Structure 1
Amino acid sequence: MTLAARTREAAAAHPFLVDALRAGVVNYAAAARFVDVEGEPEAVATALRRYAESLPDYAPSSPSVRVTMQRGLGRVGDGDGAADDGSDEAVLRVNGAGYGPTDDGDRTAVLATGAVDAAFAAAALDRLALADVTVHAMGFDGEALVALVGRRAGADAIRAVEAAAGSVPDRPSADD
């Protein structure tokens, strides 16, 4: 395997580095040390520069997403997919545990609908972490994303998920 191929492989193991290469915000000498590819650091840095030139530009998209919030959620149902009264009020179900409106619910659900994919979910998790919001549960299906957070974190969470909608980078396909 060539030095260039080893460098591309090492960079691809770190998606944040590929995003930084696409955005043109990389110190190539530091990145060459970071990827830990055997070879002269200058040669690895040159391979990274050439790899960056071959990548599509980093262009955050603004997917069409609507973000809302629902307070007062807690555990609902008996774990078999239905609530105790036979209805299914769960806003989110993870591993048999359902979360929906309850009288004593201490969670808030942030719901994003629209162009919701894995890249959006990753961006939302990143933004929630930066906002120091603990996510208790999360799920998405391509049309909607639900993040379950603490009751008092709802306002920060909704702002974080809204910000994620404007920061989802277009990912290069395997053919690029």
Structure 2
Amino acid sequence: MSLAAETRRAADGHPVLRTALRAGIVNYTAAARFLEIDGEVDAVATALRRYAEELPAYERDARDVRVRMESGIGSVDPGSNDALIAVGGTSFGPSGGDRTAIVAMGAVDAAALAAVLQGLNLEEITPAAAAVGDDSIVVIVDRLEGANALRAVEDALEAVPIE
């Protein structure tokens, strides 16, 4: 396998690096050291630079959505008409519980949910549940994280990556 092919394979094995290559925000020498490919660091850096030139540009799209927050969310009976979200055998809905639902309605899809989850992760917010369906995303978080989660979801939906 050529050094260029090995470099591409290694970069593709690290989605964050591949995204950074597409966005043009990589220190190629540092990335070459990170990949630990058998070869000269400068040669690997050059292969990364050439690979970045071949990748499609990293673009983002603002989604047309309305985001709201609903407090008092907890477990509800599976199949309940009150359920906002059901994942496996667990359903969440209004119940006076200690969680908050962040609901985004509009132009959403799996890519938007991925951006939302990444945004929450950056804020160190771990959702209890999250799902996308039709024209809505629902994310369940601890009540105290509700306001920060709302801002993170709004920010994420302003810049959803386009593949």
TM-score scaled by structure 1? 0.85
User: Does residue 82 of structure 1 match 2:79?
Assistant: yes
User: Does residue 157 of structure 1 match 2:149?
Assistant: yes
Q: Residue 82 of structure 2 aligns to which amino acid in structure 1?
A: E
Aligned match of 1:38: 38
CA distance in structure 1 between the partners assigned to 2:124 and 2:17 by the alignment:
23
Q: Residue 92 of structure 1 aligns to which amino acid in structure 2?
A: I
CA distance in structure 2 between the partners assigned to 1:18 and 1:61 by the alignment:
19
Q: Residue 62 of structure 2 aligns to which amino acid in structure 1?
A: S
Return the offset for 1:142.
5.2
Decide which moves more: 61-70 or 40-49: 61-70
Return the offset for 1:143.
2.6
Superposed counterparts of 1:78-157, under 5 Å: 81-83=78-80, 88-102=81-95, 104-141=96-133, 143-157=135-149
Return the offset for 1:110.
0.4
Do the aligned partners of residues 142 and 2 (structure 1) sit closer, same or farther apart at CA in structure 2, a change above 3 Å counting? Answer: farther
Do the aligned partners of residues 127 and 46 (structure 1) sit closer, same or farther apart at CA in structure 2, a change above 3 Å counting? Answer: same
Q: Residue 64 of structure 1 aligns to which amino acid in structure 2?
A: D
Do the aligned partners of residues 164 and 12 (structure 1) sit closer, same or farther apart at CA in structure 2, a change above 3 Å counting? Answer: same
Could you list the runs of 5+ residues in structure 1 that have no partner in the other structure? Answer: 172-176
Identity of aligned residues (%): 52
CA distance in structure 2 between the partners assigned to 1:142 and 1:130 by the alignment:
26
CA distance in structure 2 between the partners assigned to 1:33 and 1:143 by the alignment:
43
Superposed counterparts of 1:41-60, under 5 Å: 41-60=41-60
CA distance in structure 2 between the partners assigned to 1:8 and 1:143 by the alignment:
36
CA distance in structure 2 between the partners assigned to 1:142 and 1:32 by the alignment:
42
CA distance in structure 2 between the partners assigned to 1:140 and 1:127 by the alignment:
15
* CA distances 1:38-85 after superposition (whole Å, capped 9, x unpaired): 2221111111000100112222211222211111111111xxx423xx
Aligned match of 1:15: 15
RMSD: 1.5
Where 2:39 maps in the other structure, the secondary structure is coil
CA distance in structure 2 between the partners assigned to 1:66 and 1:132 by the alignment:
23
Return the offset for 1:118.
2.7
Could you list the runs of 5+ residues in structure 2 that have no partner in the other structure? Answer: none
Where 1:135 maps in the other structure, the secondary structure is coil
Q: Residue 94 of structure 1 aligns to which amino acid in structure 2?
A: V
Return the offset for 1:130.
2.3
